[in-house]
Chain A
Amino acid sequence: MSETEVFEILKEIAGKVTGSEAAFKNATITSDFREDLGMDSISVLYMVLDIEKRFKIRFDNKSIAQLKSVGDVVNYVLKHQK
């Protein structure tokens, strides 16, 4: 799976989780989940759970703490996907 494909799926998941798909239309790879996209910890948690199911990967607390931007998550998915 390419970076662009993961990025598009991620935007779709984040849009569904927050209930505002329009807000994520303009999201870029450098967008920060909390500052640029206005997501709080419960939204991030829900999004990560969805990502785990969609890509069949596992996150831990340490890795989540390091995921700040959309690009960080894309890289994590690409690195851990089987």
Chain B
Amino acid sequence: MNQEKPYFWRLFNIRKFWMDLARVTAGPWMMLIYRSKAIPVSKKAKESLHYKHGVIVTANHISLSDPFIIGTAFWRRRMFYLVAEFIMKYPIRGFLLRLSGCIKVNRNIADIEAMQKTETVLGRGDLITIFAEGGIQHQEGPAPFKSGPVLMAFTANVPIIPCYFEKRKHWWNRYHVIVGELFDPRKELGKDTASIPEIRQLTEKLYEKTKELEGVLHHE
């Protein structure tokens, strides 16, 4: 396991120069375009926004803009994304996505290399966003989650920040990203080892928590 890097290293590091440059140059434009607003559901959930260690952010997936919406809601952190391999297979696009912190994952195989990379990133204290439904969904509300994010959080021993947002009604509206309380799979289970059926149960629990966030958004 990697040693967690100091917080300053995670804010600026010469090896992540291009990624940070993209973040500071494109970030303000993305903020103007999407105007994401992170809304914590409780005082405890507010801590999620300021969490400074390795963490996974899970969210529902409604369009190709979602990484920017989540990225601007968590603008304080350098953010890595888990992206389907077919999106990164084109040379120039793949290069740019890799530069901006995307980790490719092949959904058709047991992708151990993606798992190892995420463990490294989380181990040094960075943040990874995963759209837990496994692809863009067109239904109302969140679709059932894949077990991968919980498995990653469990093996890397990091918590998950569940988020939920919906399409805005008009282009001038803000995106409201509802941020839930930290979900720690090991604490939830009360032990350090889990079987796959237990990982699936935890995934179901995370999904239920995300559905609760949907309810909060509709009461806004």
Contacts and interface: CB of A to CB of B under 8 A. Distances in A.
Interface residues of A, number: 18
Q: Is the interface of A mostly helix, strand, loop or mixed?
A: helix
B195 A45 contact: no
Contacts of A19: 195-198
B116 A58 contact: yes
B112 interface: yes
Contacts of B111: 45, 61
A41 B112 CA distance: 10
A18 B109 contact: no
B14 interface: no
A8 B158 CA distance: 30
A60 B113 contact: yes
Contacts of B148: 42
Interface of A: 16-19, 41-46, 48-49, 58-61, 64-65
13 contacts: A17-B196, A19-B196, A41-B110, A42-B148, A42-B151, A42-B199, A44-B110, A46-B151, A49-B112, A49-B155, A61-B106, A61-B112, A65-B109
Given A16-B193, A19-B196, A64-B112, 18 more contacts: A18-B195, A19-B197, A41-B110, A42-B110, A42-B199, A45-B110, A45-B151, A46-B151, A46-B196, A49-B115, A49-B155, A58-B116, A60-B112, A61-B106, A61-B109, A61-B111, A61-B112, A64-B110
